Amino acid sequence: MSGLSFLLSLAYLGLALWAPGALSNLFGLGALGATALLRLPPQTRILNLALLTLAFTLGLWRSGNTLGLIGLVGILVALSTLPRIPTWIRALLGLAILLISVPLAGFANTFIFELGIQIGIYAAMALGLNVVVGMAGLLDLGYAAFFAVGAYTWAIFGSPQAQNFMQGNFPLPGEYMYPFMLIAIVTTAITGLLIGLPAVRLRGDYLAIVTLGLGEVVRILANNLDHPINLTNGPQGITPVERPPIGWFEDLIGSLGIQLDATTDYQLFFYLLVLLMIGLVVLVNLNLANSRFGRAWAAIREDEIAARSMGIPLLPTKLIAFMTGAAFSGAMGVIFAAQRTFVSPESFTLLASITILAMVILGGMGSIPGAILGAATLTILNLDILKTFSEFVRTNLPQIPSQVDPAKYERLVFGLILVLMMIFRPTGLIPERRHRAEMEEE
Amino acid sequence: MLEQILALLPQVIFDGLVLGFVYAMVALGYTMVYGVLELINFAHAEIFMIGAVVGVEVFRYLGPQIENGLILLLVALILAGAISGATAILVERFAYRPLRKRGTTNRLVPLVTAIGVSFVLQDLVRLIEGLWHNEFFLRMRTVEDLEGSFDLFGGAIFVQSKSLIVIVVSILMLLGLTYLVNRTKLGVAIRAVAQDLQTASLMGIDPDRIISRTFLIGGSLGGVAGVLFALQYTIITPYVGFLPGIKAFTAAVLGGIGNIPGAMLGGLVLGQLENFFGTYLPILTNGNLGTEYKDVVAFLLLVFILLVRPQGLLGQVVREKV
């Protein structure tokens, strides 16, 4: 068994060297599957994973085929879920993938940076929503509203937009983005308080409906606050939004011997920035889960009445969960606005809220690696697989009408994922310990 | 300004009434399912949308064949009721029943399922309409018989005959439903299941069958409402169900969810409020706040009711079992 899987991995490394592309990457995914599912001794498994990391990196670097990225995500999942792998190896391989493999792949195909950034932004938001839904058990269907508030906070002041209602020199220079991330955390936390104060008094279903309604209110406001005072520029959205200057960053990577064009520079910069943010969010999440609040949230989630009888103050505890989740989303909103240099109400619809919710549920409510995996899966599915599949259908099967274009059926796919997950695996792909125990009890 | 407001008032009240009856019809579907299963059937908005799409298709294909507009409408209502009802049964069978069988007590699970179903239905309709007509922005074909209109009170109110149809059909539906729930054997069984599912099944009631029937009734009412909505507001897309759906839910909550006359009352109140704000906000604020804010009013109203009187206007307080 172990010899076979080792040979498979080695074969893929050869393939990645001599014939990189979609087919060899598909073979690599097979080899990864074999490594993860066969009963292997830990040493073989570690060796295999390291070989596969090298091979996927090579394949990505030489061909830019995005299937390789799925392989890398798979290796990350394997690292975080497979038993008996020493921590230092996990950390080393994980960092190598995030800091070396993905950037190398990105130089070959900048779309991979774009994917990485989007996955990162969504992952950070899914982690934020995970605090609300997963830890505290409050179903929030208006989460994109906080993202919107964060994005507009920077978009309005980081573009000439603010001149419409304020004296002063706008746009603010790009380096103001960093303090604005803090400001956005404050504004979204306040929005979270405003939405949460009426909403969290309600239970379960009603809370969901009310957050959905208030989320829509924020979107309607973004859509219509172009008169009487032009705050948000209405449906046209705001563009261009300033980006932080990255001269120091160019010097830094230049001294490492990497010379890039301006676009790729920014992509790499935002990729690393998003990684840093995820690191921070994960740290905060871990600390919260083990804090007084984390335990209070779990208690409320399991049994509200029992929690109240134990002296946990319901309203403040729930509100803090709501505000924490909102704040994460606000900070990511600022990065989102700067990275795309464009903000419009289109990005903050109910679909966006549900997408983030689907990420949390797919990964496993309350589970940190789960939320990240959920974000990666759905973003790759939506931005890459469905689009590639559409292109494939269009070029190879032109007799199929364009109305069946798979890229247009994002909702169908998300909907099916939600329904099937709820029926067959409500704990998610990487369940959290306590959630799993809870579900098994039933 | 005051004269302008007063001059418009009768028309505003009448239009609000028509809108209110549409909401009320959809709200009946939410309320029935909630009464029995305590489930917010999010997908009901899409059942409503399917009814509207069926209505458009019937008018498109049978319109040239059937001369009489009223008969055409009747055919549309029956077909839409049947198709929507069938869809509702399928949704219950394949999405909600497996959850019930597993006995999940987590409230988030069925709600998330309902959202998923709702997304699936939207895109399925989009797929079908796309393949069929190469478009999914559907326009209701007009039929001359149904396009009549007249003035009331010396021109103060402009009444379209299709508005009258909306009002008549929804009153008939309310009466029929009240009769069904209070006087028939099926009604007794539905109420028994709503009261206590386990005990009802001990009394020789098959809960699955009753729940299925409840979805059938709620779904067909939603379908009928969809046709009337299409007739009244003419443009239909696969995503048209969302706003009326959420407002009908608001109406159901406003009236007291699970309560049938309450759903009707809630729909009427919401229709009035929404139409009132939709018409007068631009006038009162000199055009600074547009009609779009009427949706904001509806949502804020929902929050307000839930905080002040969560059991709704006609609802009873449900004691929490510990």
Report pLDDT for B141: 80
DSSP letter string, A378-426: HHIIIIIIHHHHHHHHHHH-TTS-GGG-GGGGHHHHHHHHHHHHHHH-T
Across all residues in chain A, what is the average pLDDT? 87
C-alpha–C-alpha distance, residues A322 and A436, integer Å: 23
C-alpha–C-alpha distance, residues A372 and A122, integer Å: 8
Residues A145-160: pLDDT tens digits? 999 999 999 999 988 8
For the cut 80, the answer to whether the pLDDT of residue B318 exceeds it is: no
Point out the residue among B127, B288, B320 whose CB comes nearest to the CB of A404.
Answer: B127
Q: Say how many CB pairs under 8 Å bridge A and B.
A: 138
Report pLDDT for A226: 82
| CB contacts, 8 Å: B288 with chain A | 227-228
Report pLDDT for B319: 54
For the cut 80, the answer to whether the pLDDT of residue A60 exceeds it is: yes
Residues A108-120: pLDDT tens digits? 888 889 999 999 9
**B284 — contact with chain A (CB < 8 Å)?**
no
Report pLDDT for A439: 61
Between the CA of residue A250 and those of A108, A173, A258, B191, what are the distances in Å?
18, 18, 9, 71
Region A217-223: mean pLDDT is 90
> For residue B74, what are the contacts with CB-CB under 8 A and spacing of at least 6?
none
Residues B208-222: pLDDT tens digits? 999 999 999 999 999
For the cut 80, the answer to whether the pLDDT of residue B77 exceeds it is: yes
Residue A429 phi, psi (nearest 5): -70, -45
**Which chain B residues in 149-168 lie under 8 Å from chain A, judged by CB atoms?**
none
Q: Inspect the interface and report whether the beta carbons of B127 and A206 lie closer than 8 Å.
A: no
> How far is the alpha carbon of B321 from chain A, nearest alpha carbon, in Å?
10
| CB contacts, 8 Å: B295 with chain A | 216-217, 220
Point out the residue among A205, A220, A423 whose CB comes nearest to the CB of B99.
Answer: A423
C-alpha–C-alpha distance, residues B272 and B290, integer Å: 17
Report pLDDT for B322: 47
Residues A176-187: pLDDT tens digits? 889 999 999 999
Report pLDDT for A326: 92
Report pLDDT for A435: 65
Point out the residue among A224, A411, A442 whose CB comes nearest to the CB of B123.
Answer: A411
| Structure tokens that stand for A102 in this block | 């993905």
Residues B104-131: pLDDT tens digits? 667 778 888 998 999 999 999 998 888 8
Q: Give the residue on A whose Cα is nearest the Cα of B304.
A: A198
Residues A227-245: pLDDT tens digits? 778 888 888 888 888 888 8
pLDDT category of residue B317 using cuts at 50, 70 and 90: low
> How far is the alpha carbon of A301 from chain B, nearest alpha carbon, in Å?
10
Region A29-46: mean pLDDT is 86
* Threshold 0.90, pTM exceeds: no
For the cut 90, the answer to whether the pLDDT of residue B196 exceeds it is: no
**B100 — contact with chain A (CB < 8 Å)?**
no
Q: Inspect the interface and report whether the beta carbons of A214 and B299 lie closer than 8 Å.
A: yes
Report pLDDT for B220: 94
Q: Among A399-408, B41-50, B88-97, where is mean pLDDT lowest?
A: A399-408
Residues B55-73: pLDDT tens digits? 999 998 888 888 788 888 9
Report pLDDT for A432: 77
Region A37-63: mean pLDDT is 86
Region A335-356: mean pLDDT is 90
| Structure tokens that stand for A137 in this block | 């058990």
For the cut 90, the answer to whether the pLDDT of residue B84 exceeds it is: yes
